[in-house]
Amino acid sequence: MATLVNSEIKETKKRLLETALNLIWENNYESVGIAQICEEAGVTKGAFYHYFQSKADLVTAAFTEYWQQTRLEMDRIFSSQNTPIERVNLYCEMLISKQKMRELQTGNVLGCPFISSGHNTQEKQLKQLTANTVQNVIKYFVSLINDAQHENLISQELNAEDLARYMYEFIHGVLILARLKNDLDIIRNDLQPGILRILGLQTVTL
């Protein structure tokens, strides 16, 4: 009996997390309310408040879990076993695959979930989560650039953290533009060559 109850608890919480992630990624944090999340998840408001104190708590948990899953992919992609150019290619393939999957599910190109959750909100915990996630992603880029410099693929005179930041800003500019125009080809066509140009690496066709 206890096992059944625990299973139901985990399933309810999982539905809330997945629903919040999907709704906010497709729309934005401010436009999605608790009532909509509960309705889409098939969960009562009472059950919602049993697990979370607020919408911000739920969304923070949902996007933290999403990042933990993404981090495993990032660890694989940015492994030192892959060359710097292979890392760029694998990273672009991952982003394109995620965007294609969401487009098939929703009919729209959704861009970055963390921008949807933390860009316009005044919730401090979401802003902090977004900022922390950005820094974590940039650290992967710095490691790529450091290895490329070690292999003399990139000038060692260039600042790795600056390049990593430029790389991040370009990537999210592409994702935002693709969302605005609802055009996945913007990501397919521009992402990889743009990153390689920023890094000064030779273009390699995906």
Instruction: Dig out the tokens for 171 from the structure.
Output: 């990537």
* Sign of torsion over alpha carbons 196, 83, 169, 69: positive
Q: What is the model's pLDDT at position 117?
A: 64
Instruction: Dig out the tokens for 70 from the structure.
Output: 């993404």
Q: What is the model's pLDDT at position 10?
A: 83
CATH superfamily entry for domain 56-199: Tetracycline Repressor, domain 2 (1.10.357.10)
Identity (one letter) of the amino acid at 91?
Y
What is the DSSP-derived secondary structure letter of residue 152?
T
Per-residue pLDDT 10s for the chain (206 aa) are: 445 355 677 889 999 999 999 999 999 888 899 999 999 999 999 999 999 999 999 999 999 999 999 999 999 999 999 999 999 999 999 999 999 999 999 999 999 887 766 555 667 888 888 889 999 999 999 999 999 999 999 999 999 999 999 999 999 999 999 999 999 999 999 999 999 999 998 654 44
Q: What is the model's pLDDT at position 115?
A: 73
The residue written with tokens 């991040």 in the block is 168
At 97, is the secondary structure helix, strand, or coil? helix
Shortest CA distance to 99 belongs to which of 20, 184, 185, 186? 184
Q: State CA 184 to chain mean position distance.
A: 16
For 38-77, what is each residue's pLDDT tens digit?
999 999 999 999 999 999 999 999 999 999 999 999 999 9
3-state helix, strand, coil in the chain (%, to 5): 75, 0, 25
Q: What is the model's pLDDT at position 4?
A: 38
Q: What is the model's pLDDT at position 2?
A: 46
Q: What is the model's pLDDT at position 118?
A: 55
Q: Compute the distance between CA of residue 2 and CA of residue 88 in angstroms, rounded to an integer.
A: 47
Shortest CA distance to 51 belongs to which of 36, 42, 41, 61? 61
CB neighbour class for 65 (10 Å; exposed up to 12, middle 13-18, buried from 19): middle
Shortest CA distance to 144 belongs to which of 74, 80, 96? 80
Domain ranges of the chain: 56-199
Does residue 156 contact residue 180 with C-beta atoms inside 8 Å? no
* Sign of torsion over alpha carbons 76, 131, 24, 175: negative
